[in-house]
Structure 1
Amino acid sequence: MMGSRSMIARIRSRACDAPYIVTQAVWSRYASLMLVRTTALHGIVTVELLRGDARNALSRELIAELAAAIDAVARDSSARVLILCGEGKSFCAGMDLKAVADDPIAMGEMLRALSRASRAIRRLTIPTIARVQGAAIGGGCGLMVVCDFAVTHAESKLGYPEVDLGICPAVVAPWLMKKIGAGAARAMLLAGGVMSGEEGFRRGLATHLVAENELHAAAQQLAERLAKGGPLALAATKHWLNELDGSLDDAIADEAAEISARIIAGEEAQSRLRAAWSSTRSPQ
């Protein structure tokens, strides 16, 4: 647990920097990525996944670039709000495990990398918004719920079908429990499957439900509102909320990633994944 004095000093140093100026070093880091596009305007930073042709399924390369983008946001003293989104028709259709179909060890490494990236998003000192259209499935739904806010529409498809594929959703479980509570998360993860955005909103996965054609405007309006808050107060509040709900506990997250990695390498998961891949070309 970080000492309160050092935490406040770090936040104050960040908050007192000149607003709305992106340093050249940070901007160069943003601009160098190929699968993630980052833009910044008036303190609102948008990180967009760029695998729209694959419904933004999370490949090893995409997870690595997402982590790099989030690291750059964390070091950008001008950032006030993050919007996480995906190009095309879907936010994120989950892990692109088919890309490493012959390498269960690589699958486990992807799960560990996603766990680390999710923690980095959670620990940003600025408010975070997921702008969710189309599908947010499995790891994609995990990215959605790790954000402070999620804006979606009634027709989107949300959920955690991991158990249907023989996969243990341990990586996403901690964030889902913090989002909707232990009992509701237990029922959702054990049942598997997906649900509509409207049902997901009712069950607490999303904080805002709007018409699909209003999604961009609603997320931007929320970001502009949040950007008006005191940076020091917001950062201190986020840090304390993370302390209270255990979001700063690496031991639990590391253990969850190891459990998921071990299960996905087993025959049950591998046989179910092969069966799923033989029936569809869509990323799982």
Structure 2
Amino acid sequence: MPRPKAVTDDASAKQFLDAAAQLIDAMFVTSPDERPRRLSSIDFPATLEWLRKEDVVRLARDGGQPGVSRKSFDNRWESKEDFVNDAVIHTMLYRDAPNANPALQLADMASLTEAENVAQAIAQFCDAMLASLLSYPRSFLLLHIGPLLEQHPKLKAAIVEDMLRALAPWYEGYAKLFAAFGVRMRPGWTIERYGLTIQSMLDGFLLRSRVQDEQMEACSSDDASLFADAVVAFTLGVIDTSESSGLTSREALNAGVGPAPGVERLRSLPKAVD
């Protein structure tokens, strides 16, 4: 009698898949020391391990510029890790393509103060920013290496330093925008906190736009993306309006929504006596 065909959803298959899940979890620990001892013999790939020196040198030679050789490469970087660190920063800051740097869109932020429909202007600005990032594959670089940065403290420190430097003019732009419209932020909110939240939202929407592109498109409105509408809604939640001056975002929500139907009735019921 022939042996039954092996399947990928039986008990044995589950053992293999469970083992793979353990290895995947171990890949993304904050430090190699956190990996179980039984996995210490496994050679986990380094960040951007596929970025080979041979390919870099060959591609650089194709540019036709003098002074490009393996020896000249080795004279500049003692280790591959040093080169990868510099390459990541170089790429993230668009030093090879300065005209493509999304930071150039900062100039468009000033025009928002002249818009008759402020919400629509903000939505269009956000959509332009997201579209710009989606057009450059390197926008996904941080999402690719981010979970592994704790294992590379030198690279993480360099990335964070450059990110803070790059975000500074954006924070300044947000502050000028708020001042131009004469609005203030709710208690507990600062320009830095607002800007970091917008950046975090952008990172998340960037990933979802690649993974769930059809759903993201379906959830867009007629004249704005889901990201743009989310930024408008978030901004509305953190600016202090005259009707609720001095309230935090959570206090304003409580004041506007109130308890759910039936909650007050439940609160008024006599408590059970022990």
Give the TM-score, by structure 1 length: 0.23
- Greater gyration radius: 2
Give the TM-score, by structure 2 length: 0.24
Higher percent of residues as helix = 2
